Amino acid sequence: MSIPIHNFSIQDKRSFEKFLNRSTQDLSGTISKIIPIIQNVKDKGDAAVKEYTNKFDNLDLDKFVWNLDEVTNESISPSLQKSFEVAKKNIEEFHKYQIPKSWTQEISGNRLGIKYTPVDSVTIYAPGGKALYPSSILMGAIPAKLAGVKNIQLATPPQKEGIPPVLAFVARLVGIDRIITVGGAQAIAACAFGTESIPKSEFIVGPGNSYVAAAKVYLSGLGAIGIESPAGPSEVLIIADNTANPKWIACDLLSQAEHGEDSIAILLTDSKELAEKVQNEIEIAFKERTKRIEIKKKAIYNNSYILVAPNLNDCVDFSNLYAPEHLEIITKDYNNIFQGILHAGSVFLGEYSPVAMGDYISGTNHILPTSGGARLFSSLGVDHFLKRTTFQEINKDSLKKLYPYVKEMSESEGLDEEHGHSVYLRTL
């Protein structure tokens, strides 16, 4: 068994349409399962959270909320501390450039403008099932802090050994206010509605399994919380030509596959020779690097593929239709290829830019839209935590000058008796 190779042409829709379908991303069935959980948490608060923690995590906990001074300050290695500190510096520097400024401008004699204010509270969700993601705490907390959010809490599934030292260290590093040891849909519901012990948040960000994703989407639809974007399994799409290193390409595909069985890894190329070499390198890697091997194999064999196109332009067109979470461009003229990219969560240019650099250390955010969401949403940034309020101060002379147009427009909508009249009164 090996990763499948298919030929496609952008001119022949039948040759590639099935590859655009992320059928595994349909959350409707999962949503129906988590609605009773959400309702129970809303109605019963801590009692429901305790019930689901016992049921799903096999832990009987009486306490879910931990202030940082209550968490044992177990040390992690100095080298790991340094790694997170460097990542924090780079992420802060990149995100500082995103901070917008409030502004005013005179238009038709009136003072108009925009005022930015942060949301009051944010929950960052950090998974704790098959892998811990302390790096996601950096990605969520740093832009929120730069936006001016005053109340930031971390929600993460409980562990039998207590709060992992690495999570506690990173939480302290970025100034998290408290840690909520609850996971899954019940964590999202508890933070959206609040319970006796768990404070309510206005916004929730961060990756999670399908139950977490479904809870975020459902509660966002109810208006109970704000979310960065609908989230699904991790995915990478690589556009490469015959100059690319097949061993490196194979490793980059596998680096996404090791996230989970439902991860997606795709190679687009105009070189059949490269496709076959990458296919072979993946099989070699399976023999040489066996950690999380079953997870990687399921992701590669069940969800992933290599597409061979007549030319790189077809690869670009497919990528724009697919709108991948992560896009690597490893071609001779990657900057020229990049000019044609319209939809992608985050783009990695050249052979020395693997996705893992953005996942950890380069400074860009790794909380990204998945499942085609890059056509509508952007990577998590400072602006996600800011509300944009418009304002206007109307000048009397301008009001008189513009009233005839208001009169015409309000009459056309049948709202002249009050809308139009509210302006007319001020012209007298």
Angle at 218 between CA 49 and CA 24, to 5 degrees: 105
Q: Are 50 and 196 in contact (CB under 8 A)?
A: no
C-alpha 39/C-alpha 57 separation (Å) is 19
Q: Assign 3-class secondary structure to 144-202.
A: HHHHCCCEEEEECCCCCCCCCHHHHHHHHHHCCCEEECCCHHHHHHHHHHCCCCCCCCC
Please count the CA atoms within 13 angstroms of the CA of 356 that sit on its side-chain side.
13
* Other CB atoms within 10 A of residue 60 CB: 8
* Residue 39 dihedral angles phi and psi, to the nearest 5°: -65, -40
Q: Which two tokens stand for residue 213?
A: 């994703």
C-alpha 285/C-alpha 283 separation (Å) is 5
Please say if 6 is a catalytic residue. no
Packed helices 165-174 and 78-96: angle between N→C axes, nearest 10 degrees: 40
Q: Which of 95, 326, 366, 384 is catalytic?
A: 326
3-class DSSP state for residue 16? coil
Q: Which of 228, 258, 261, 325 is catalytic?
A: 325
Q: Which two tokens stand for residue 38?
A: 């959400």
What is the secondary structure of 92-138 as a DSSP string?
HHHHHTT----EEEEETTEEEEEEEEE-SEEEEE---SSS--HHHHH
Q: Are 123 and 153 in contact (CB under 8 A)?
A: yes
Q: Are 182 and 116 in contact (CB under 8 A)?
A: no
* Other CB atoms within 10 A of residue 248 CB: 18
Which pairs from 42-50 meet CB under 8 Å and 24+ separation? 42/189, 42/193, 45/190, 45/195, 45/196, 46/195, 46/196, 46/197, 46/198, 48/186, 49/182, 49/186, 49/190, 49/195, 49/198
Please say if 326 is a catalytic residue. yes
Q: Give catalytic residues, as residue numbers.
A: 325-326
